[in-house]
Amino acid sequence: MGSVPKPMTLKEGLKIDKQAKRFVTRYVLPILGPIHTTKIHKLIRHVIDAIRWHGNIQNCNTANNEALHRADKPYYGRTNKDPDAFTEQLVVHAQGARSILLRHAKENADLLTTYQAQEAKRKAKRRATLRTALGRTGWARRVAMRSELQRAKKRAATRKARRGYNLEKVLVGKLAERPDLAGVAGLLEVSEESFVRVAKCVNIQALFECGSRRTQLLRATMSLNKEPWLDGVLFYHDGDVRHVGVGELRAIVRRPTGDVAIVAVMRRVEPEPGCVFHKRGCTRLQWKLNDEGAIDVRKMPIAHIRHLAHIVPDFAELSSRRGPAALPPGFDAPLASRVSMHFFLNVFFPWSV
């Protein structure tokens, strides 16, 4: 009887329910945003630490992990469905199948290596025979040169196709219609009648606090599922790793010297006294203005991007100015309205500031 908990009264249950609601609405939702799970312990005690250590690796995409379940599902039919034992049976079947597949893959690889070695010897023997038969005549040299030229053209065409993958040829005047890119022609040092190659996304090797690197996908497009997707980033000012800035991508342009990111820059501002987000490491931000009074936009090599940043609006400040029903200004809003908006660099990425 000592291990049985005391029955909970209705009053105690209502009190716990009230505490849980207050905790979620005051702390969980403002920090993590809308969630659709009851696993609060996992979110608070484990997920946040994992993101602090490794960053937002795949833009919150769980597709890779979920896809692993597909390989084990067929083995469930081979178990006896006993709740106390089917997990162990499932693991045994899955691990056994994987070991067999690995052995077959190794055997196939060994056979392929042997075949390639034998084929290389046969080709070398045929070439030697042909060389002996033809001798070093001018005709033989012309055949060899023509073959090499054809192979070089094929390699060049393949490289050109790869460089142009996922690229769109855009008129610079059309690119200037994107938010804050009215002066993009001067930024790229080209005329508005010229064309540039614009990428919707590009992979970078993100650098994290622990010194490790991992591939991240940067997106900068005005139409992904009919909505803009412009990633926030942390970048090095003029390539100086000691000076890290915050901004939002406006475009990714392919130039002869390499990919170039066009970034709208944000500046750090003083936090409000007693701000709960500042106490937890968040940085308060506003758009930075240039000498002409417009939002400061800079051009930089993709290599100067450190990693993705999670930038969220300051809804408390917005509500105090425009009421609780106000929404953050869009790209087409007046400049004064956009500049007055405040943001936070999410606590998930505190190390670079």
Q: pTM for the full model? A: 0.55
In a domain, residue 98? The reply is no
In a domain, residue 11? The reply is no
Counting the structural domains of the chain, the total is: 1
Compute the distance between CA of residue 16 and CA of residue 7 in angstroms, rounded to an integer. 14
In a domain, residue 272? The reply is yes
Beta-bridged to residue 246, according to DSSP, are 234, 266
The amino acid sitting at 134 is L
Residue 24 DSSP code: I
Minimum mean pLDDT among 194-203, 261-270, 313-322, 343-352: which range? 343-352
pLDDT for the residue 113: 92
Residue 169 has pLDDT above 80, yes or no: yes
Q: Which structural domain, as residue segments, surrounds residue 224?
A: 167-345
pLDDT for the residue 159: 61
pLDDT for the residue 305: 93
Contacts of 249 (CB under 8 A, 6+ apart): 218, 219, 220, 230, 231, 232, 233, 261, 262, 263, 264
In a domain, residue 73? The reply is no
In a domain, residue 258? The reply is yes
Query: Mean pLDDT across the stretch 333-353?
Result: 77
Please, what is the average pLDDT of the chain? 82
pLDDT band (50, 70, 90) for residue 341: very high
Query: Mean pLDDT across the stretch 61-71?
Result: 75
In a domain, residue 275? The reply is yes
Q: Pick the residue with more confidence: 315 or 275?
A: 315
Query: What is the side-by-side order of every strand in the sheet holding 201-207?
Result: 201-207, 213-224, 227-230
pLDDT for the residue 301: 93
Strands, E assignment, the chain: 167-171, 195-199, 201-207, 213-224, 227-230, 232-236, 244-255, 258-268, 283-287, 297-301, 305-309, 311-313, 343-345
In a domain, residue 268? The reply is yes
Distance of CA 76 to the CA centre of its chain: 34
Q: Are 347 and 282 in contact (CB under 8 A)?
A: yes
In a domain, residue 259? The reply is yes
Query: Mean pLDDT across the stretch 125-130?
Result: 78
pLDDT tens-digit map of 28-39 = 777 777 777 777
Compute the distance between CA of residue 135 and CA of residue 219 in angstroms, rounded to an integer. 58
